[in-house]
Amino acid sequence: MGIRVRSTLLDALEWVDYAFQPAGEAPPDDVAYGHQRHSATVVDDEANVPPKSCESDGIIGLGARPVAVYTADCLPVLIADTQQRRVAAVHAGLKGTLAGVLERAVIRLCEAGSSPDGLYVAIGPAIAPCCYELGEEMLSAIAPTLSGSQPSCWHREQPHNPLAVRPQAKATRNGVWFDLPQLATLRLTAAGVPAANIENVSFCTYCMAETGSSYRRNTHFNSGYQSRFSWIRRRGG
Ligand SMILES: [Zn+2]
């Protein structure tokens, strides 16, 4: 049994069922999820029944079928639309976030008549700034695509994580410590989602989650990794 991570915001919505599953655990049988490509493509659930029928990094749940994403260090982002009672699961790594996958999911939900202030968002287990070093060359490549608030997205000094259960990543490239959940939060608030409606569970896949959670840790220690499924659905028929 892995660690069960919960979102206070989503737990407060009685019509929503969801899970941030531990790495390596199979998702529900009737789940829909796309063939993920770090893109900004968002589709409706039926386009990915059976799973991986098409390429997508965001999936909208129109009914009671669970929609999922699989991740290692990228952000699994679960969204509940309290106005239309629809849900979405989004795979948001650095590339997909910069490509606009989160905004695309917000737009798709709002096309059905909702407004961004009715959306509740949980950012699940992902690599946190305590362990996510980016080289300066990467930063200068992506900086132009960030808006004016980007300095809050990284730290010069590696943040200490007091909740780490194993050693944090060691610096290898004299870079910066990037806060991908913070970038996602900024992009979502810019799209109109109130900050109070966004929760980051702050659970680092590298230094806090069960063994085999982190793609990056695997590249450092050859420790192996498995996908983590995160899913969400509307309760009932
Ligand atoms: Zn960490």
State in Å: Cα 181 to ligand 1 middle. 13
Neighbours of ion ligand 1 (CB under 5 A): 128, 130-131, 161, 204, 206-207
Each residue's pLDDT expressed in tens, for the chain with a length of 237 residues:
567 899 999 999 999 999 999 998 999 999 999 999 999 999 999 999 999 999 999 999 999 999 999 999 999 999 999 999 999 999 999 999 999 999 999 999 999 899 999 999 999 999 999 999 999 888 887 777 776 656 688 899 999 999 999 999 999 988 899 999 999 999 999 999 999 999 999 999 999 988 788 888 888 888 877 889 999 999 975
Q: How far apart are CA 76 and CA 121, in angstroms?
A: 10
Strand pairing of 58-61 and 42-44? parallel
Backbone angles phi, psi at 32, to 5 degrees: -115, 135
Q: Are 72 and 225 in contact (CB under 8 A)?
A: yes
State in Å: Cα 169 to ligand 1 middle. 7
State in Å: Cα 106 to ligand 1 middle. 28
Q: How many CA atoms lie within 13 A of 129 on its CB side?
A: 19
Could you tell me which of 21, 1, 19, 2 has the C-alpha nearest to residue 11? 19
pTM over 0.85: yes
Q: How far apart are CA 110 and CA 213, in angstroms?
A: 33
Could you tell me which of 107, 97, 96 has the C-alpha nearest to residue 193? 107
